[in-house]
């Protein structure tokens, strides 16, 4: 039976004070009272294979993804929902024949207790996400002065000649982009139709084991 294997995971923390420094003059309805988090993971379907770039053996093909973000409880809420796939054997941690939902939840919860900074993880991962102008403008709750200032800092493109315009945020390398990413709540709408999401990371994360938690010691 086909199932998804999670090879590596890491949790990134965005400090609320750094996020709020982007817009210190903002009204009270903007800004964050809690740190924000993102969970990245490397996974692949057990039925799809490729050649390992280092030792040349046939291995499971895998890619990097972002699962969820927001406050820690919001991220964990998504994790709990996804853990249901473990019950039916559809989701497993690498090296495990079966993964219990509570084992998967516990693994991520442990990661969230010792998260990494954006500076640490940006050495190994890149993350780009599309934000639409309608989502962007809503961030500023009708404050046209601040909204216009921020709009002018980005270049905007259209999708196939449609009215909706977008720009691309890079939250791991720009605290301003991270502010907009979390303040617009698009971390809860990552599956919006047509949204571009690109996560790039190492195929073999063994050399960066301090930043990625692999499910098993054996070679992947």
- Any domain includes 220: no
Reported as type and span, the H/E element at residue 169 is strand 165-169
Judgement on whether residues 103 and 39 belong to the same structural domain of the protein: yes
- State the Cα angle at 191 between 185 and 194, rounded to 5°: 105
Judgement on whether residues 113 and 171 belong to the same structural domain of the protein: no
Containing structural domain, residue 100: 4-120+198-214
Reported as type and span, the H/E element at residue 89 is none
pTM of the model: 0.87
Judgement on whether residues 97 and 204 belong to the same structural domain of the protein: yes
pLDDT in tens, 91-131: 999 989 899 999 999 999 999 999 999 999 998 999 999 98
- Any domain includes 46: yes
- In the chain, the number of structural domains is 2
What whole-number distance in Å separates Cα of residue 193 and Cα of residue 196?
9
What whole-number distance in Å separates Cα of residue 42 and Cα of residue 60?
11
Judgement on whether residues 112 and 153 belong to the same structural domain of the protein: no
- State the Cα angle at 51 between 209 and 45, rounded to 5°: 75
Q: Average the pLDDT over 44-51 and give the result.
A: 89
Judgement on whether residues 89 and 131 belong to the same structural domain of the protein: no
pLDDT in tens, 51-102: 887 777 888 899 999 988 899 999 999 999 999 999 889 999 998 989 999 9
pLDDT in tens, 140-167: 776 677 778 888 889 988 876 667 888 9
């Amino acid at each position: 039976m086909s199932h998804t294997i999670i090879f590596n995971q890491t949790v990134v923390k965005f400090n609320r004070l750094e996020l709020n420094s982007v817009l210190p003059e903002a009204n009270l309805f903007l800004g964050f009272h809690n740190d924000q988090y993102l969970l990245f993971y490397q996974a692949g379907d057990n039925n799809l294979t490729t050649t390992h770039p280092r030792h040349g053996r046939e291995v499971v093909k895998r890619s990097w993804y972002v699962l969820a973000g927001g406050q820690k409880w919001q991220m964990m809420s998504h994790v709990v929902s996804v853990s249901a796939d473990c019950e039916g054997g559809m989701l497993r941690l690498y090296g495990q024949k079966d993964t219990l939902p509570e084992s998967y939840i516990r693994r991520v919860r442990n990661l969230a207790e010792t998260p990494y900074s954006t500076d640490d993880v940006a050495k190994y991962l890149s993350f780009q996400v599309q934000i639409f102008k309608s989502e962007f403008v809503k961030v500023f709750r009708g404050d046209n002065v601040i909204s216009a200032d921020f709009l002018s800092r980005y270049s905007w493109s259209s999708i196939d000649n449609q009215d909706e315009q977008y720009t691309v945020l890079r939250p791991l390398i720009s605290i301003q982009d991270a502010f907009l990413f979390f303040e617009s709540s698009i971390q809860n709408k990552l599956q919006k139709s047509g949204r571009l999401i690109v996560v790039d990371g190492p195929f073999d994360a063994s050399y960066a084991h301090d930043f990625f938690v692999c499910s098993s010691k054996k070679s992947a």
